[in-house]
């Protein structure tokens, strides 16, 4: 652990959906002085996301679903276009993303490639997200997708060409960070 950080107090503020904590700690600044700080952290576990792509057709598979936090923050219909994603729930990132992509999109992929990992909102959320890509074809479609109903998922599966997706980023139709990152990765490294 970092010797410049001394935890002084941890208070659980909420443990309903996930865990929200308030932590007071001393931090040794670059000038040698200790400073007491307080931060709230939201711990929902780590996650994984994947972009399915078809090189021959120049297409990708995305999803569209209602996201309440985006809705209350001004997204008129609350529907976000995203890459398939989910929390690890104690599984390896590779195992979990294979299951998640099949649940959400109906595609079964065996060969997933981890391309990078990132903290998406490190000022307040503890989650690290593992990013994957995998090639798909029509034969990989084993179900309708749509998510898990008892988890509140109601997911629409979208197949779009890569250029239209990049245009959707530019015109604001795609606003999800993980999706933008994977589409940019695909544009630079795959297509």
Per-residue pLDDT of 19-34, as tens digits, reads 999 999 999 999 999 9
* Topology of the domain comprising 47-189: Nucleoside Triphosphate Pyrophosphohydrolase (3.90.79)
Q: Judge contact between 103 and 148, C-beta under 8 A.
A: yes
Per-residue pLDDT of 77-116, as tens digits, reads 999 999 999 999 999 999 999 999 999 999 999 999 999 9
DSSP per position, 65-131:
EE-HHHHHTT-TT-EEEE-EEEE-TTS-HHHHHHHHHHHHHSB--S--EEEEEEESSTTTB--EEEE
Please state, in angstroms and rounded to a whole number, the distance separating the CA atoms of residues 91 and 103: 15
Please state, in angstroms and rounded to a whole number, the distance separating the CA atoms of residues 70 and 161: 25
């Amino acid at each position: 652990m970092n010797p410049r950080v001394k935890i002084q107090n941890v208070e659980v503020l909420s443990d309903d959906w996930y865990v929200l904590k308030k932590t007071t700690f001393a931090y040794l600044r670059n000038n040698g002085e200790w400073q007491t700080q307080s931060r709230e952290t939201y711990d929902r576990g780590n996650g994984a996301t994947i972009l399915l792509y078809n090189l021959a057709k120049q297409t990708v598979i995305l999803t569209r679903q209602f996201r309440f936090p985006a809705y209350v923050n001004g997204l008129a219909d609350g529907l976000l276009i995203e890459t398939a994603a989910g929390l690890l729930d104690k599984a390896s990132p590779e195992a979990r993303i294979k299951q998640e992509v099949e649940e959400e999109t109906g595609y079964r992929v065996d060969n997933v490639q981890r391309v990078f990992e990132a903290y998406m909102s490190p000022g307040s959320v503890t989650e690290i997200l593992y990013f994957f890509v995998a090639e798909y074809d029509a034969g990989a479609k084993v179900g309708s997708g749509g998510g898990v109903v008892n988890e509140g998922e109601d997911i629409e599966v979208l197949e779009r060409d890569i250029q239209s997706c990049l245009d959707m980023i530019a015109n604001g139709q795609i606003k999800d960070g993980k999706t933008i990152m994977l589409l940019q990765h695909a544009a630079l490294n795959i297509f």
